[in-house]
Structure 1
Amino acid sequence: MTLKDKLFLFLGLMLSVPFLKVTGQTQADRPCDEKATRETVNLYRNLKKLSGSGRYLIGHQDALAYGVQWKYEKGRSDVKDVTGDYPAVYGWELGHLEQGSARNLDGVAFDKMREFIRQGYKQGGVITLSWHGINPKNGKSAWDVEPGTVASILPGAPYHDVYRKQLDRVATFLLSLKGDKGEYIPVLFRPFHELTGGWFWWGAKTTTPEEYKTLFRFTVDYLQRIKGIHHLLYVYNTSGGLQSDEAFLERYPGDDVVDILSFDTYQFKNPQADFATSLKGDLALVEQLAQRKNKVAAVAEMGFSQIPEANWWTGTVAPSLKGRNFAYVLFWRNAGVKPDNEMEYFVPYKGQVSEKDFVRYYRLPETLFQKEARALKLYK
């Protein structure tokens, strides 16, 4: 090593010391986006720290927009009605934004969603966005599984420009998410979710592993490099029922474009013990991979529609999640009565059979809701 090389090395170390001393960060503490905003870096670091604490954040989809038998009532949430506190993670859906619609596929106005996101962030909560985008090849829904859709929208393919225009609309919305000081609001972005299932156009039945990886990587690159978006943490998300590390990682696009490893899981009519066993197994697999890759583990969606078991929260959920190393779990939305007259909700409302047990779940030391999340100062 020459004298000049030694001098540059010394100066580099001297310049790096103050940063490391102030932030306490190492490269492993930082998200995959090298240009991530300060708030985004801090959120990622704190989610990682939380993952090893035995505690986890509780989330709810569309929590501030509506619940069972109500919509757009200021300051309301079914979680708050029952516990007196808001959830710590707020889930929102971007589907139909890509086609220029004023409302998403669940009827939530994007202008209102933006305000709800600002409210959740201001209260110290975490924001996560999923995206059931329409099929770019044929304009049908996200559930249209025409073979070859992903192949047709990759760079150089016939419908690539259509997909780019969809991303442009998503990017415009993401860039509009700002806090009171003009800072960008960090978002856990979860595109192409439940990728191992066969019910979406990006799913395993109609897409090869390489096609999926290419789509994911292109999307991240486009948002970062072309649109200049640096306030996202990227979530890789499979379905539940995982069989092995290899199955989970078969379509994994790379450590350089992923921050959070997650899966979705729901209890249906199968026995409680079967769901608990599956949940424990899936979470153990994902958290071990997250630790190995220096990522954050999460349960991105979970629930039991209409929660018919009075003690489901402390009898099934709490024991299955206790002591695990993950950052958050998000329960799905309280849609109430849907257009097909089906009742759908995934957290209890006042008077629901599992209401009292949900309060017991709320009081557990490991479950963190809004008040506790605010105290954690996740963005600092």
Structure 2
Amino acid sequence: MARSGKLKGTLRRGLLLAMAAGTLGGCTAAGAAETSYITVAAAQPRQEGENAAVAAQLSGADTLPARFNPQSKWDWMDGSFELDITTEGAPREGVVFTADLLLRSDGKPQFQGRMNVETILLVGEGKRWAQCAMPAQLRASNFTEPVMRDGAAWYRARVAITFSGTVNTDVNGVWTNGVAFGQVVNQPVTGIKVFVAGTQCSYQGQVRLENASLGYTMGSGDGVSVSTTVPRHSQTALAAAGDVLTFESGARQALPQVKLADAKATAATVRTARYLAAMGSSDHVIFGHQDSVWSKAGTAASPLNGLSCSDIEDMTGSPAGVVGFDGLSLAGKEFSAALWNSSFAQQGLPSIDIAALGEPAANVKALAYLSNYCLSRGALVTLSCHMPNFSQAGVRAAYQAGKEPAYARYDFTTSTARDKGGNPMQGILPGGAYNAQFTAYLDMVADYASQVNGPILFRPFHEGTGSWFWWGTSTCDAATYQKVFRYTVEYLRDKRQVHNLLYVYSPDGNPGFFTEAQKRYPGDAYVDVIGYDNYQTDPSPDSSKWFADFSSGLSQLRKFAVQHGKVLAVTETGVNTSSPALGDVVTGLPRTGCADRQWFEKLLDAAASSGASYVLVWSNNSEMFHTPFVRAVNGDGSLYGHEMLDDFLRFYNDRRSVFALDQLDVVRGIQSGLK
């Protein structure tokens, strides 16, 4: 093995693009990262002699120094490990690179952050790069085995990376993500490069690579994933006939009458509100998940592994009962028309003519198509809006007046909801300096809603009782917040004549939130659903104190909702971590070492008895996730993946949890316009 030069620029560009895009799962598209976890399903050769023809055990070892910057999110180690190899023919999809990574240490390594091990296959005589889109990720806890090398003490971790689905590569001089494996790896592999990067990693010392191999045998696994022991049970569907909702037990719940903010709301919108109100009066709760059908943390789907484009569906066989999207996708910052065309449209769904529509309108259509896809599968849809600071909204140079809708004039990607300068809340009201930009954004929401074949739970200005968004307490008083919320409803409902929205007001659940939540409440004429956003940070093995506080806040909102005749929902929740040492990023579940392994079961206990109609946890992607995920399906049908899989399966198996397939007939009835 020889040390190579510092190939930082091109490689880093490809990695950052892959990570920013997230994982699209079975809907993997160009620009989307395809998770490179080990897949047990591909562990054995698929035909006699195949492994012998491709496998290569690489002798020797090499050592490089590492001096990672603990403040950096992505800091390359100087140099790379370069392995000489020539396979007999082109490897097939599912080929696995395994190696031992050793750290020089006289005691068990105690560094903070993580190391990312990136592997590139060099293909053919031209040594074209085929980069696995997500690196193997190692923490200090992975280096558990002490070994001696040349009289020195080292600690070893096993790395296993599967090349499956797509890779990143150079296409005509442009670094491109999401290219099909077989299009790139179509000649013998003539070398392998291994790079190591630190993410807020404090390790300083020697790194050694040895015992590398390429083949279809997994090796010892990643030391993190587990197999499930809880079988998945199917659930009986709910049914709604007339004014009665019938549960699987035979219990019946009346669909109460509701008074909505929109007196002209469509029959389907009214029916949805009544269904949610009935759920809130029962001991059942609908499970929701943000971005659930297109962004995932688990292994991307392929015809070989039996997985889907959804972590929830991988675990349960059903989509989430509520699927959340955000206005960021309307602007093309999360989902987009390009992703739709390269993923869902490849499965027989309509494609979008981006050139004819223009990119802004095409992105809006893509999210409408995705919402309709969810509704057709039994999921309700909710739209939050991390709106840009409209004082910083730019004008698109490519805008084509007369061809594109008026909202396409503005670039809504130039700022974020956390940019708080410029006094935007006053400025977006009628007569304000930014009213044109704001109403253009609302026109974009209206265009989206007009293309969705069902109701949308619309949740603008969420967590306004906190201080982190430009509509929060640090930049906006209660009276202004109320004015803006009311103006938003009036503009969509009265001026744009949008009648398939249910308006959701969702304060944050930080301590003492309720007083501010009451002050900022826009009024009964502008709200249909009272929401509750509350995350647990750094759970302990006993989360009883947090769940008691969670339930107390929810109880306050329940009384408020009942007094005002509104539906109640947990509109955001999940586990957060406060430092990279406790998880892979500063939000989401840790990849391993979760303190409370019954967290989802406890959430169900709290939510099902609270009067909440649904509970939604935040999104998953390759770098951050709020639910467990599946890496592979074992031969016996059990699942292999995140350590909290069993907890989530118990959550799913409980009769009180409701997923999309449980309510499929109800949602289809709503869409058909039943009154």
Is the structural similarity TM-score above 0.5?
yes
Q: Pick which of 201-210 and 117-126 moved more.
A: 117-126
Q: Secondary structure at the match of 1:230?
A: coil
**Retained in 2: the 8 A contact 1:244–1:285?**
no
Is 1:291 the counterpart of 2:562? The answer is yes
Q: 1:143 to 1:37 in 2, by over 3 A?
A: same
The one-letter code sitting in structure 1 at the alignment partner of 2:293 is L
Partner residue, 2:56: none
Match of 1:313 among 597, 600, 606: 600
Equivalent pair of 1:94/1:131 in contact (CA under 8 Å): yes
Q: Does the CA contact (< 8 Å) of 2:464 and 2:471 recur in 1?
A: yes
Question: Structure 2: how far apart are the matches of 1:313 and 1:67?
Answer: 18
> Does structure 1 conserve the Cα–Cα contact (< 8 Å) formed by 2:465 and 2:513?
no
SS in 1 for 2:312: helix
- What TM-score, normalized by structure 2, do the two folds share? 0.48
Question: Where does 1:28-47 land on structure 2 (aligned, <5 Å)?
Answer: 29-47=258-276
Q: Which residue number corresponds to residue 131 of structure 1?
A: 385
- Larger CA deviation: 126-135 vs 163-172: 163-172
> How far did residue 248 of structure 1 move?
1.9
Shift of 1:70: 5.5
Aligned residue number for residue 616 of structure 2: 330
The worse-fitting range, judged by mean Cα deviation, of 289-298 and 271-280 is: 271-280
Structure 1: 5+ residue stretches without partners: 1-21, 179-184, 338-343
How big is the shift at 1:212? 0.5
Aligned to 2:520: 251
Shift of 1:112: 3.8
What stretches of structure 2 of length at least 5 have no aligned partner?
A: 1-241, 245-253, 341-362, 394-414, 576-587, 631-640
Confirm or deny that 1:238 pairs with 2:507: yes
Do the aligned partners of residues 374 and 29 (structure 1) sit closer, same or farther apart at CA in structure 2, a change above 3 Å counting?
Answer: same
> Which secondary structure does the structure 2 equivalent of 1:162 belong to?
helix
In the alignment, which of 620, 627, 630 is matched to residue 347 of structure 1?
627
1:218 is displaced (CA, Å) by: 0.5
Distance 1:71 1:234 in 2: 35
1:191 aligns with 2:460: yes
Relative to structure 1, is the Cα distance of residues 47 and 302 closer, same or farther in structure 2, using a 3 angstrom cutoff?
A: same
The CA deviation string for residues 241-271 of structure 1, in whole angstroms up to 9 with x for no partner, is 2536533211011100100001111111154
Partner of 2:477: 208
- Give the direction of change, closer, same or farther, for the CA distance of 1:279–1:147 in structure 2 (3 Å limit): farther
The structural deviation recorded for 1:273 is 2.7
In 1, distance between residues paired with 2:335 and 2:268?
29
- Residue in 2 that maps onto 1:154: 429
Aligned residue in 2 for 1:93:
326
What TM-score, normalized by structure 1, do the two folds share?
Answer: 0.84
- Alpha-carbon distance in 1 for matches of 2:369, 2:539: 39
1:69 & 1:256 partners in 2: Cα distance?
43
Matched with 1:6 is: none
Query: Which residue number corresponds to residue 651 of structure 2?
Result: 361
215 and 27 in structure 1: CA distance in 2 versus 1, 3 angstrom threshold? farther
How far apart, CA to CA, are the structure 2 residues paired with 1:53 and 1:168? 37
- 1:92 and 1:129 in contact (8 A); partners too: yes
Alignment of 1:250-269 (within 5 A): 250-269=519-538
SS of residue paired to 1:335 = coil
The Cα of 1:147 is off from its aligned counterpart by 5.6
Following TM superposition, by how much is the alpha carbon of 1:118 offset from its aligned partner in structure 2, in angstroms?
A: 0.7
1:83 is aligned, of 316, 339, 344, to 316
Distance change in 2, residues 1:368/1:147 (3 Å): same
Instruction: State the partner residue of 1:57.
Output: 286
Provide, for residues 19-71 of structure 1, a one-character-per-residue CA deviation record: whole Å limited to 9, x for no partner.
xxx87999951321000001000001111111101111000111111201556
1:104 offset after TM fit, Å? 2.8
- Residue in 1 aligned with 2:416? 141
Q: Which amino acid is 1:367 matched to? A: S
**What is the rounded CA distance, in whole Å, between the counterparts of 1:115 and 1:279 in structure 2?**
35
| Structure 1 residues 39 and 117: CA distance shift in structure 2, 3 A | same
Aligned-residue identity in percent: 29
1:128-162, CA deviations, whole angstroms, 9 ceiling, x for partnerless residues?
Answer: 00011110112321110126220111111222122
- Alpha carbons of structure 1 residues 72 and 186: separation in structure 2 relative to 1, 3 Å: farther
Q: Which has the higher contact order (CA 8 A, sep 6+)?
A: 1
Moved over 4 A (4+): 22-28, 69-75, 105-109
Identify the residue that residue 452 of structure 2 maps to in structure 1.
177
- After TM superposition, the structure 1 = structure 2 runs for residues 1-16 of structure 1, keeping only pairs within 5 Å, are none
**Deviations, residues 259-300 of structure 1 (Å, cap 9, x unaligned):** 000111111115423321221111111111111111000000
Distance 1:187 1:72, change over 3 A: farther
Residue 495 of structure 2 aligns to which amino acid in structure 1? I
Provide the rounded CA distance (Å) in 2 between the counterparts of 1:64 and 1:26.
Answer: 29
Q: Distance in 2 between matches of 1:330 and 1:82?
A: 16
Which entry has the higher C-alpha Rg, 1 or 2?
Answer: 2
2:569 is paired with a residue of what secondary structure? strand
- 1:59 alignment partner, SS class: strand
Between the two proteins, the alignment pairs up a number of residues equal to 342
Corresponding letter in the other structure for 2:615: V
Partner SS, residue 114 of structure 1: helix
**Secondary structure, aligned partner of 2:324:** strand
Structure 1 residue 356: deviation in Å?
Answer: 0.9
SS in 2 for 1:330: strand
Preserved CA contact (<8 Å) 1:65 1:72: no
Q: 1:313: Cα distance to partner?
A: 1.5
Match of 2:23 in 1: none
Tell me which moved more, 57-66 or 370-379. 370-379
User: Structure 2 counterpart of 1:362, which letter?
Assistant: Y
Distance in structure 1 (CA, Å) of the matches to 2:533 and 2:314 = 26
SS at match of 1:373: helix
| Displacement of 1:126 | 0.7
Contact map agreement 1:147 1:206 (CA 8 A) in 2: no
Q: CA deviation at 1:329?
A: 0.4
Cα distance in 2 for residues equivalent to 1:242 and 1:285: 12
Cα distance change of structure 1 residues 267 and 23 upon mapping to structure 2, 3 Å threshold:
closer
